[in-house]
Amino acid sequence: MDVKNAQVAVLVEHLYQELELWHPVLRLREAGANVLLVGPDTKLVYSSKLGYPARPDIAIDEVKAEDFDAVVIPGGFAPEGMRRHPAMIEFVREMDAQGRLIAAICHAGLVLASARIAHNRKLTCVSLVKDDVINAGANYVNEGLVVDHNIITSQLPSDLPVFGKAIVDYLSSDGIEPAAARRLAPSDGRKASPVDYLEPVELIMGPRGRASANYTTVAIAASATVA
């Protein structure tokens, strides 16, 4: 497969780790792949742990596993938010069922556990969530990069050079055929997830409704043009 024919989804939620999201995006775009940020809502801006803004190109409800050859799941605390979206978990589960590439780094092992695809797989992750991965039935390995068939896992931002190379190498393999059913672009016609750091965004957490115990998180920016 020519990586230039690959279509890759990179999942995004609040409190993602900056390098673990943008390094794969830029590395894969450099290789020629069509890379799109996929998140809960394209109208919202999602903040990294340090306030770096990211706006999804396409909402998770608008895509199917058939649309992509690979999915990258960054770490930080974003995977905890991803687990709250059944559509995100089902997307990852279906990607695995169809044999598509799943690349997960750091805390993203939580998503593999919730998607129930960690069982009997050789995986790694950041040590803080290794118990979750082990309890999900994975064969945890304390290494910076682990490749088990269609699942690639790494531990930390320092592993990104080998993580990114492993993704590109996998998508360039002779035995991998392009599978994406349709060529996608941002739903509103704008340029795909530009890396525009205009100003930091601030995360505000509050109840979803009056006297509600169900909290939600919103990213607030002084400029309405962020992302």
**Catalytic center residues:** 107
| Cβ neighbours for 6, distance < 8 A, ≥ 6 positions apart | 28, 33, 34, 69, 70, 171, 178, 180
Angle at 134 between CA 99 and CA 16, to 5 degrees: 70
| Nearest in space to 35 (alpha carbons), one of 147, 186, 151 | 186
Name residue 226's amino acid.
Answer: V
94, containing H or E segment: helix 86-97
User: Could you tell me if 81 and 75 are in contact, meaning their C-beta atoms sit under 8 angstroms apart?
Assistant: no
| Nearest in space to 69 (alpha carbons), one of 98, 100, 99, 94 | 100
Which tokens go with 159?
A: 């592993």
Q: Terminus-to-terminus CA distance in the chain, angstroms?
A: 32
| Cβ neighbours for 224, distance < 8 A, ≥ 6 positions apart | none
Instruction: Count the Cβ atoms, other than its own, within 10 Å of residue 41.
Output: 13
